[in-house]
Each structure stands twice: as structure tokens, then as C-alpha cells.
Structure 1
Amino acid sequence: MIAIFSDTHSSAGHELEGAALTAAREADVVVHAGDFTSNAALEAFREECNRLFAVHGNADGAGVRDRLPTARVVEAGGVRIAVTHRRDGGETGLAMFGRSRGADLVVFGHSHRPTVVETDDVVLLNPGSHADPRGNRPGFAVLEERADGGLEGEIREPDGTVLESVRLTGD
């Protein structure tokens, strides 16, 4: 299982609770699209996760920015996932970012709005913010490998309520 988070915005820790905390602890891989804000939040995520693949965001302090890249690529379930916090140009810019990395899925953050957008050749997924939703529904995402290849999953609220579904075909 892959658990996906973004926009923690915490000075003290990961702020995970309920189904979000369970997902982080049980996931084989955790992806975080930036804005931990503090080293304490980054370290708290690392303590809860088996494997954390993260990027830094615009609100991350220098200590976090020095430790994390602005973009990265992760492969799981035959799906190539490009991760960034944000890209200029909105959906078009994010799709171009994904295409330039040969990605099937782009995970991004910044808006705090749980979102799935299917473009012609890449799916854009913003898990939202489980801890600081800023007027949006709080969210995180979970993806699981399908028996026939690819991934499927959902954006969920911290209590496990499903907000949106996503399905990705493998190579």
C-alpha cells in the first residue's frame, strides 16, 4: 500500500490521527508532497513510516529544504509517480511535469484541496491536507496494487470517509 500526504504545516509533529495515522504506519511506501514546515514534522513522519519519499514545499524551513529535493520519481505497482509540491501553470504545468518524467501519476500539494484530475496521459492527485485543510475537506490518499497491474485507491478524510477514487493502469 502507498499512503500519500501533503501540507502538514506543523511545528511540532506529523499531526496524523485516525485512518491517516493507520495508513502511514501500515503503508509499504509513504509519499509526501511537501510543506512539512519543520524538521520536527519531517522527523515525526519518518518515525511512523517504513519508507518515506518526500519533497519540500514553499513553506518548508531551510532545514527541511536542505534535506529534501523539489521533485522526485517513485515506482510502485507498475506505475511511475512524479512528486512535486507545485508547478507554475496549474494543471497544464503539472501534466507537463509528469510527462517530462514519464509518469503515470503526478502527486502534488500546495492548494490543500483534495483533487483527482485525469488528463490525456497522466493523472494528477492532490491528497489535500489532513492537518490544515484551509476551508477544504481534510484529506490524504491511499493506493493499492491491483492483481492485474496498476494501482487503485482513494482520497479519504482522516476518519476514513472516501472523498474521491482513482485508478491507474500499469505498464
Structure 2
Amino acid sequence: MIAIFSDTHSSRGHELEGAAVTAAREADTVVHAGDFTSEAALEAFQRECDRLFAVHGNADSAAVRDRLPTARVVEAGGVRIAVTHRRDGGETGLAMFGRSRGADVVVFGHSHRPTVVETEDVVLLNPGSHADPRGNRPGFATLEPSADGTGGLEGTIREPNGTVIETFDVRTGTE
């Protein structure tokens, strides 16, 4: 399983609870799209996750920015994930970012709004914010191998208590 988070905005720690902390602990790979805000939050995530791949966001401290890239590509579970906090150009800019990196999924944050947009060749995924939803539903996402054996992935955005917000499918470049 791949667990996906963004926009923690904490000075204390990871702020994970319920199904969100379980997903972070059990995932083979954890992706975070930035705005931990503090080193304490970043380090708390690192303690919870065996494999954390993160980028920094616009609200991250200088210390966090020094430790994390602005963008990265992660290959896990047969999927290629391009990660950024935000991109100019909205959905078009995010899709171009993903295509230029050969990604199946673009993970981004910034708006704190759980969002899935399926474009022709890449899925745009904002998991929302599990800790600071700012008027949106709190959220995080998971990607798991498809139960139907097609080789794709089944995605789910959930609230930290486990309530499903949205489900979606991800086709991989090998399909």
C-alpha cells in the first residue's frame, strides 16, 4: 500500500490519528506533498514511516526546505508518482508536470481540498489535509493493487477516521 498525505501544518508533530496513522505505519511507501511547517512534524512522520518520500511546500520552515526537494518522482507499487506541493497553471500545469516526468499519478497539495482529476494520461491527486482542512473535509489517500487483477491500482481518499470520501482507479504506464 502507498499512503499519501499533504499539508500537515504542525509545530508539534505528525498530527496523524485513526485510519491515517494506521495507513502511515502499515504502508510500504508514504508520500507527503509538503507543508509539514516544522522540523518536528517532518521528523514525527519519519519516525512513523519506514519509507517516506516528501517535498517541501510554501509554508515549510527554512530548515524543512533545506532537507526536502521542491519536486520528486517516486516509483512504488508499479506506479510512477510525480510529487510537488503546487504548480502554476492549475490542472493543466500539474498534468504537464506529470507528463514531463512519465508519471501515472501527480500528487500535490496546497489547497487542503481532497481532489481527484482523471486526465487523459495522468491522475491528479490532492489528498487534502489530515490535520488542517481549512473548511474542507480532512483527508489522506491510499493506493493499493487492484482487486480485479488488471495490474492497476485502486485509490481511496478517506477522512482520518476512515470514512471514504472518494474512490478512483489508476492505470499504470505498463497497462
What TM-score, normalized by structure 2, do the two folds share? 0.96
Partner of 1:28: 28
User: How far has the Cα of 1:152 moved from its partner?
Assistant: 0.9
Is 1:151 the equivalent of 2:153? yes
Partner of 1:77: 77
Is 1:164 the equivalent of 2:166? yes
Partner of 1:115: 115
Distance 1:78 1:47 in 2: 25
Distance 2:25 2:122 in 1: 28
Is 1:87 the equivalent of 2:87? yes
- Partner deviation per Cα, 1:7-56 (whole Å, 9 max, x = no partner): 00000000000000000000010000000000000000000001000000
Is 1:51 the equivalent of 2:63? no
User: What SS is found at the alignment partner of 2:8?
Assistant: coil
Q: How many residues align?
A: 171
Query: Is there any run of 5+ residues in structure 2 with no aligned partner, and where?
Result: none
Distance 1:105 1:150 in 2: 12
- Partner deviation per Cα, 1:93-141 (whole Å, 9 max, x = no partner): 1001001101110000000000000111110000000000000000000
Distance 1:159 1:110 in 2: 22
Distance 1:150 1:73 in 2: 18
User: How far has the Cα of 1:76 moved from its partner?
Assistant: 2.0
CA contact (8 A) 2:2 2:77 kept: no
User: What SS is found at the alignment partner of 2:121?
Assistant: coil
RMSD over aligned CA atoms reads: 0.8
Percent identity, aligned pairs only?
85
Distance 1:60 1:166 in 2: 30
Distance 1:167 1:44 in 2: 30
Distance 1:26 1:71 in 2: 24
